[in-house]
Structure 1
């Protein structure tokens, strides 16, 4: 991996922006996309997309969408002791939330914050800790009282986001970071736009990132209505399940980009799957089939407007929706090549065949 790409990954994953509060990531995407597109447009909820116009006004429209938001929390109440009750933004395993470092983001500034836990000393002589619920975990920024917290600008509705440094593993094959779901997508969009900047495409390309994916695929509905694509590709990270066995599991690090054939919100159309399989075979791109219990923005896109054929060009990540995700550099590079070659190969005839299913 080139150092430039690693630095782009590091910058994007270390940015902090949970659902509905993606402004730092949006500003980064706007600046990074602008040199490679004809214009940048934003939808009403805050999704941001660079557009490369085809010279023909009626050329087919292809949309590639990451999402900018990462899982986090929102302050719901400030206690008398100056701690915070929260609601989760996105899906969290309650057993990974406690005793972690976060950033509390307020109108007056950002403050260090940690999630509470119970030391074993205080559990002695008891029946032990009961089942943990995320909403029961308090967050602590070191304030003595509600009044002190409020004097620093803390209010209900402020967000709390993981604080993590992005690093390489010792063998150089993997990267550890937060928010690879879905700063992967943000990174691969920028990499593809840069790679294709001097090439003429056979379609109008709309590439960027949605908001509020982690809280119900909300941003996609507005963006596809605004841009009205003929085809939609989500670029997203999915959970790897390979730490114990690869037999009967989906999502294995180092085995290539994900070919998501099914999830609860989407079945990939046969002609679109055929096109992606042909693209992978033609360009020797490693891929792995993937079946998921969760969805992506492609699930919202394909039932929007008059129905939009949609697919996901993805990567697996271990331990997603936590502070620390491990992901493979080789998988990222395979997904990047898959996206670039997919966009290169799409012309009006191919898109018509995919859409019409003939």
Structure 2
């Protein structure tokens, strides 16, 4: 991996923006996309997309990451200065405690940690009860509700994981927060850079949605606004390879994910065949993927009059936590897949994918 790409990954994954609070990531995407596209446009919820325009008769192809990462919203300041929260996105409650976060308020950003019960305090009892995410309090060191409020803390503020992005000792993997889905944001920028001087056979609409982690909310307005003929989500999925690779999906180091099914979307046969042809032609490593979770493609494909949609993905271990591990070669395979997919799409190919002729 080039150092430039690693630094881009590091910058994007260390940015902090949970669902509904994506402004820092949006500003970064705007700055980096502007030199690479003809025009920047937004949807009404805050999704940002760069357009590389072709002729009016050419098809419209949309590539969408999502900017948001899992986090929390502060819902109540307790009398002792601690906070109750609700999760934004899916969290395993057993990875929430004793972690570092940033509390983002109108007056500034403050360090914050999630509470836990020390083992000393569990002695002599029956142990800790079944844990729910909402049982975990958050602590910014304020001594009272009044002191917290004097620093501008209010219900509705966001609390976002804080973590450094690093490489593993062998240089083959990266550890970071928010690879779901700063992976997609990185991929969009890398593809736009690679295609900057290419004449494409379609209008390309590439960027990132908001609020994916709370129910695929951002893709509906963006697809409605831009009316693509084809939709490609670029998103990260959960790896399942730490116990066995037999009968599981999502293995680090085995290539980009070719998602054939998830609870919200079936990849259409002609879309699948196009991806397989691209992978075969360009020797791109890939692995079939069946997911228990969805992506923006799940919402996009039933928007407007129906939009054939799929996912160009990678897997990561321990996603939706402070520390995700992902493989550099998987990312490079996904990048090559997206670039070659976009190069190969023109009116004839798109019509074949949609109509079979």
Instruction: Please give the range of the TM-score, normalised by the shorter of the 2 chains.
Output: over 0.9
Residue in 2 that maps onto 1:80: 79
CA distance in 2, matches of 1:304, 1:241: 31
Residue in 1 that maps onto 2:29: 29
Aligned length: 357
Residue in 2 that maps onto 1:165: 164
CA distance in 2, matches of 1:167, 1:76: 33
CA distance in 1, matches of 2:355, 2:210: 30
The Cα of 1:64 is off from its aligned counterpart by 0.0
The Cα of 1:58 is off from its aligned counterpart by 1.9
Residue in 2 that maps onto 1:317: 316
The Cα of 1:357 is off from its aligned counterpart by 3.3
Residue in 2 that maps onto 1:211: 210
Residue in 1 that maps onto 2:233: 234
Secondary structure at the residue paired with 1:154?
coil
Secondary structure at the residue paired with 2:218?
helix
Residue in 2 that maps onto 1:49: 49
The Cα of 1:164 is off from its aligned counterpart by 0.2
CA distance in 2, matches of 1:228, 1:357: 20
Residue in 1 that maps onto 2:132: 133
> Structure 2-normalised TM-score?
1.00
Secondary structure at the residue paired with 1:311?
strand
Residue in 2 that maps onto 1:96: 95
Secondary structure at the residue paired with 1:147?
helix
Secondary structure at the residue paired with 1:218?
coil
CA distance in 2, matches of 1:43, 1:79: 37
> Structure 1-normalised TM-score?
0.99
The Cα of 1:57 is off from its aligned counterpart by 1.0
Residue in 2 that maps onto 1:188: 187
Residue in 1 that maps onto 2:275: 276
- CA RMSD of the aligned region, Å? 0.4
Residues 300-335 of structure 1 deviation map (CA, whole Å, 9 limit, x = unaligned) = 000000000000000000000000000000000000
The Cα of 1:107 is off from its aligned counterpart by 0.3
CA distance in 2, matches of 1:118, 1:20: 30
Residue in 2 that maps onto 1:335: 334
